[in-house]
Amino acid sequence: MTTVDNTPVGAGIAGPDRGTSGHGQPPTPPRRRRPPPTALLGLAGLAGLLALVQVLPATPLVSPRYLPPATEILTALYGLLGESRFWVALGDTLTSWAIGLAIAVGAGIVLGVLIGSVPVLRAFTASTVEFLRPIPSVALIPLAVLLFGTGIESTLLLVVYASFWQVLVQVLYGVQDVDPVADETARSYGLGRWARIRYVIWPTSLPYVMTGVRLAASVALVLAITAELVIGAPGLGNRIAVAQTSGAVPLMYALVVVTGLLGVAINLIARMVERRALSWHQSMRGEVIV
């Protein structure tokens, strides 16, 4: 007796599922290559710049009289390390930078919190801040020379003036960013002005403060070297001017390289301090995905 099979055609045939490999496994996504580290890219860019400086003087584009090869610049830089005058000049520049930055940061934080916490005071000083802030510090060089001559005081005047606005504006933005609900809650719990500044305003403003300090640190170095270069105050800028007038071109470029390395070091230190001070902040911990 013949039995009729009612099984649909192909029902018993197991074919490969869509989206799977021939062995029934899901396809393996292609592996993404990790990008090279940022530090490695920076070193590659620096090596490319050195190679360019080495090659350009050998071409008709640039005369070696104005741009010596990189080997001569590095040789002059190595010779600087054994000169006591170089370390004295470096110490003078760092002293002017540190003192001016400290004054600017302290004044900027105190005045920024004070002005930002009092709406009437902020409205009263808004036009004054907007008028004084765009004035370039270089325009104050004649005034600095008239008041203090070529001493460190002239450098400090320019450094403090340029760095102060970087901190003040950021602190004002930070105080303005305070949540009004949190401020009113603190008031309802009976917190006084200083307690609200400590527990409400300061934590909110700290990321802005650290940004202002990082910007002010770079600006302070630029103005310190500029003042030494133009006014003749002791420091690396003065050594650059002397090397330029005496025709020591490789030495001049070597000192310029030192100022660049100093700026990189200051920026790295400022970022490290910022990360440590804001380790609790969301921007440093990354967003939490719920």
Task: Let me know if domain 92-238 sits in CATH 1.10.3720.10.
Answer: yes
- With beta carbons less than 8 A apart as the criterion, state whether 116 and 175 touch: yes
Q: How many CB atoms lie within 10 A of CB 263?
A: 15
Q: 100-158, pLDDT tens digit by residue?
A: 999 999 999 999 999 988 889 888 888 888 898 888 888 888 888 888 888 888 899 99
Q: How far apart are CA 142 and CA 155, in angstroms?
A: 12
Domain ranges of the chain: 92-238
pLDDT above 90 for 65: no
Indicate the pTM of the whole model: 0.78
**pLDDT computed for residue 21 by the predictor:** 46
Task: Return the pLDDT at 198.
Answer: 83
Query: Rounded mean pLDDT of 219-239?
Result: 91
Average pLDDT over every residue of 201-229? 91
Given this model, what pLDDT does residue 64 score? 78
Which region among 39-43, 77-81, 126-130, 212-216 has the lowest average model confidence (pLDDT)? 39-43
pLDDT at 284 over 70: no
The pLDDT of 224-228, averaged and rounded, is 92
The pLDDT confidence band at residue 33, using thresholds 50, 70 and 90, is low
